[in-house]
Amino acid sequence: MTDSASAPITTVSSRPVRMGLREPYTIAYETVDSTTNVFIRIETDGGPTGVGCAAPDEAVTGETADSVLRAVRDVAAPLVRGRDALDAEPLLADLASALAGQPAALAGLDMALHDIQGKARGVPIRRLMGGARDRIATSITIGILPADETVNRARAFVKQGFRRLKMKGGLDARADADRVLRVRQAVGVALGLSFDANQGFSVAQTVRFAEATAGARLEFIEQPTPRDRPDLLGRAARETAVPIMADEGLMTVADMQLIADGRLADLVNIKLMKVGGLAQAARIDDVAAAAGIGAMVGCMDESALGIAAGLHFALARPNVVYADLDGHLDLVDDPAAGAVLLESGILRPTGGPGLGFDPPGR
């Protein structure tokens, strides 16, 4: 297909898929044992079919699988049907306006439209968006566990070839510091190690935790303070030597501008589900890069199809310095298993056009 061709949208469909986790995990505000993703398919007349998925997280995005299904059926499908899928920018602008406050639903649709763009041009999304690299190391996350179990899990991941570990905490700063120090002692100094408090700390606790773990050489501390108090995140960033990363506090371009203007964080975690997909993520990363703030591409508990989109974005953007794309690794019966390739902690796309994978079924 050439750029002069058209691909009128004929059908927009969605279906929920519930996937269990082989091992439940605990973070500061919840324990998770399953997730439901909504798989989205956009079909065109004479052009390629695009696929995407939404991974709503009510605690983060305020969405559920049911709300995503309604958004796709009642809002998105009537809005885009009959329009040219290759004119993606105006389509995405209209969808972003119509689905304000529903970033996971928007992200799934954004993925499917980018998938069509890549397939129409015969290139992977990473090249469509910039093509900075062709692979990246991902961290793998250890939930809140007793210290001995945390150390054993860390050693097991290192044996599997992972080069970066991210530890969860936020319930007990002193115990968290002890676990971090023990993991560093167990895995050695060469391994990348970071910590995510999931909003569980005060500024004072963040400072004490950073001081207590100074010997562990953490790469960053992620969202230690409450998301609705960006001023506290800024104080933590100013008062600690360890880089502070914004996560739950970054949902929109306006949030990123606030962070950049006030220098409220040293790094930001860009999750497609949280910000509304690839197009919105690119705008956020542009602001971050202009402010000299590095980015990590993170994820929710999401199918490998969603991980593939995050991976393509991470590979396309020079400002992305970290990837935390492990949300698919523990899922049972993922329809998109195989959408990304993992070897010794390194993620690569399949190499096919668009997202590089078409899940079976409709």
Catalytic position from the list 43, 57, 196, 302: 196
* Number of residues in the chain: 362
Catalytic position from the list 115, 219, 247, 326: 247
Catalytic position from the list 43, 271, 324, 358: 271
Compute the distance between CA of residue 84 and CA of residue 5 in angstroms, rounded to an integer. Answer: 10
Active site residue 168: yes
* Cα–Cα nearest to 221, from 204, 249, 199, 188: 199
Q: Is 351 exposed, middle or buried (0-12, 13-18, 19+ CB in 10 A)?
A: exposed
Active site residue 66: no
At position 87, the amino acid (one-letter code) is: D
Collapsed DSSP state (helix, strand, coil) of residue 61: helix
β-pair type (221-222, 340-343): unpaired
Q: CB–CB of 355/303 below 8 Å?
A: no
Active site residue 330: no
Active site residue 63: no
Catalytic position from the list 168, 255, 266, 330: 168
Compute the distance between CA of residue 149 and CA of residue 151 in angstroms, rounded to an integer. Answer: 5
- The strand pairing partners of 32, in sequence order, are 25
Collapsed DSSP state (helix, strand, coil) of residue 341: strand
Compute the distance between CA of residue 150 and CA of residue 136 in angstroms, rounded to an integer. Answer: 25
Could you give the angle at which helices 230-239 and 203-212 cross, rounded to 10 degrees? Answer: 30
Active site residue 301: no
Catalytic position from the list 219, 222, 302, 324: 222
- Would you name the residues annotated as active-site residues? 168, 196, 222, 247, 271
